[in-house]
Amino acid sequence: MSLEVLISEADVARRTKELAAEISASIPVSDQPIMLLGILKGSVHFLSDLSRALWALDRECQLEFMQVSSWHGEMASSGIVQIKKDLDSSIEDRDVVIVEDILDTGRTLSHLKELLAVRRPRSLQICTLLSKPEARIVEVEAEMLGFEIPDKFVVGYGLDYDERYRNLPYIAVYHQD
């Protein structure tokens, strides 16, 4: 096994701040905080940094979580989307930003966006740190996108291989030797 740095820690930090500014600009200030909906487990690092970057812009946010999977410990998506943990609070009439680590095949985010849309949020957007356009099977639009990457298996900054490497401060290509 070897790791090849694809996106540095500094580049991730810079782009996360820029994405917070994009979110802030896209959602009018209201009496309710922006709801950042983190998709567990991969989005946790990105979500944390994004929420702090929004605070630096004087935007309050509320954190909510779902756990959704189509990977099941493998290096390729199974195609079967499972909801492992649903929301704890209502999103009705809220400005919701789905925060995801990676937009890969599109199956998970497409399914999730349809599921959440029927819960009548005021607005529903996707912010993903990474996107692999070459891997897309289902077309889904992310309103905010950090980086487009090649169709390679990546780890770090929340992304894992069999629950390992999430704590790397950068994004790396995982090579199985």
The first and second tokens of residue 95, run together, are: 């400005």
The first and second tokens of residue 167, run together, are: 């704590």
Is 177 in contact with 12 (CB distance < 8 Å)? no
Q: How far apart are CA 165 and CA 20, in angstroms?
A: 25
Local structure of 68: helix, strand or coil: strand
Is 177 designated active site?
no
With tokens 């983190």, the residue in question is 38
Q: Which of 104, 151, 162, 177 is catalytic?
A: 104
Local structure of 126: helix, strand or coil: strand
Q: How far apart are CA 174 and CA 165, in angstroms?
A: 10
- With b for 16 or more beta-carbon neighbours within 10 A and e for fewer, the 124-155 pattern comes to bbbbbbbbbeebbeeebebebbbeebeeeebb
Residues identified as active-site: 104
